[in-house]
Structure 1
Amino acid sequence: MPKRGLITKQPIRHLALSSMRIRPDHSVWDIGTGSGSVAIEAAKQCWQGQVYTLESNNDCYESIEANIAAHATDNVQLLKVKAPEELASLPQPKSVFIGGSRGEMAAILDSCWQRLADDGVIVATAVTIDSVAELHTWSKQRNVKALVQMVSVSQGVPLAHYTRYQAENPIHLFIFDKRLQTELHSENNND
């Protein structure tokens, strides 16, 4: 487990990865990778492609590298930089996951949206009200429609000889699908 629990929990990873529509030959970006959990699962889905994962927290590097090695995902390249640095030099992504922004959410989204393939998807998670506000504001200011979901997961935990539910922190998923934007712009131009 990385320091401060910097891992996207399994149910959220599954929702995010399914929303990203990853194919075997895709190029995927994982920004603010934390432990590398999303990058590793994405790499298994795009086994003929490449995952570029960015992290600026020095405390995370050892666990990310260990996780990449443990899962034999040699198609994951760790970039030890703070996004949006280096994004302009990476191959065009079909899918982007943003798990952390270090206060650069708007700049990261601008870079990702500009570089994203016409049929690509960005999935961003937000665990704080501040991140939710940043994502929502970016969406409104750029006129980019988002599918927004708030996901609450509770896990069964023992209580004497019973089982009770323990709620985890709710997570917001913002899904920006370029195909949807093209359809919306076409509809608006036809009106």
Structure 2
Amino acid sequence: MTSGIPDEYFVRGNIPMTKEEIRVLSISKLRLKEDSTIWDIGAGTGSVSVEAALAAKKGVVYSIEKEKEGIKLISENIKKFNVNNIVVVNGIAPDVLMDLPSPDRVFIGGTGDKMHHIFDIVTSKLKEKGIVVINGITLDTAYYANHYFKQKNYDVQTICVNVSVSREAGQKTMMVSQNPVYIISAKRE
């Protein structure tokens, strides 16, 4: 299976999911290795966890989600894609992070109102030359993540992705834009 699993292949519910095009770019920014230890914070349906697990076949993905529906969806997607290197962690970040093994890579898809505390724990546990990728839909998230990681002397890059997807409109095809997403990648030197 290649990266960029179509969204409709995932079992979905009312939990947010990182869409295919954003997921592909975010995972590419993680620069995964075959044996990476990965945290997926705010895992939602587990779409990033599944794709990361497929890329890091000899690694482990810790899929962290607080919502019961999300935990159920992650478990269903693990079965559907037959990946056995995902550990589902039911709990609230940052509370559950301290007991996890130190990661090489961290994907943050959601922080609620605990961004600062999550960033503090991530930076305290991230291995040398580790990479953190944060997805945000607000300017506030992009600004705060940039500022935070630059203050910690990480190499930081931000991209803003605007994706439009085609949709039939009678006899014609129109483009429907999705929300812009900021993808912030921060590498520990």
Is the TM-score greater than 0.5?
A: yes
Please tell me whether the aligned partners of residues 50 and 81 of structure 2 are also in contact (alpha carbons under 8 angstroms): yes
Q: Which has the higher helix share?
A: 1
User: CA–CA distance in 2 between the matches of 1:120 and 1:90?
Assistant: 15
Distance 2:173 2:87 in 1: 41
Q: Distance in 1 between matches of 2:132 and 2:156?
A: 10
Find the structure with the greater CA-based Rg: 1
Deviation at 1:2, TM superposition (A): 2.4
Q: How many residues align structurally?
A: 178
**Contact kept in structure 2, 1:2 and 1:34, CA below 8 Å:** no
State the percentage of identical aligned residues.
Answer: 31
- Correspondence for 2:186 among 137, 155, 176: 176
Say whether 1:47 aligns with 2:86.
no
Residue in 2 aligned with 1:10? Answer: 20
Q: 1:157 aligns with which of 155, 167, 173?
A: 167
**Paired residue secondary structure (1:89):** coil
Residues 22-61 of structure 1 mapped to structure 2, 5 A cutoff: 22-61=32-71
User: Aligned-residue CA RMSD in angstroms?
Assistant: 1.5
Say whether residues 1:129 and 2:139 are aligned partners.
yes
Q: What CA distance in whole angstroms lies between the structure 2 residues aligned with 1:144 and 1:106?
A: 16
> What whole-Å deviation, never above 9, does each CA across 1:98-152 have from its counterpart, x for those lacking one?
0001111111111111211111100000013342343234235545442011100
**What TM-score do the two structures reach when normalised by structure 1?**
0.87
Which aligned pairs between 1:67-146 and structure 2 lie closer than 5 A? Answer: 67-146=77-156
**Structure 1 stretches lacking a partner, 5+ long:** 183-191
> Structure 2 CA distance, aligned partners of 1:55 and 1:10?
19
Q: Which moves more between the two structures, 31-40 or 56-65?
A: 56-65
TM-score (norm 2): 0.88
Distance 1:62 1:87 in 2: 20
User: What's the CA shift for 1:14?
Assistant: 0.6
Q: What amino acid does structure 1 have at the position aligned with 2:172?
A: Y
User: Once the 2 structures are TM-superposed, how far is the Cα of residue 87 of structure 1 from its aligned partner?
Assistant: 1.6
AA aligned opposite 1:122? V
Contiguous gaps of at least 5 residues in structure 2 = 1-11
Q: Which amino acid aligns with 1:117?
A: K
| C-alpha separation in 1, matches of 2:30 and 2:113 | 23
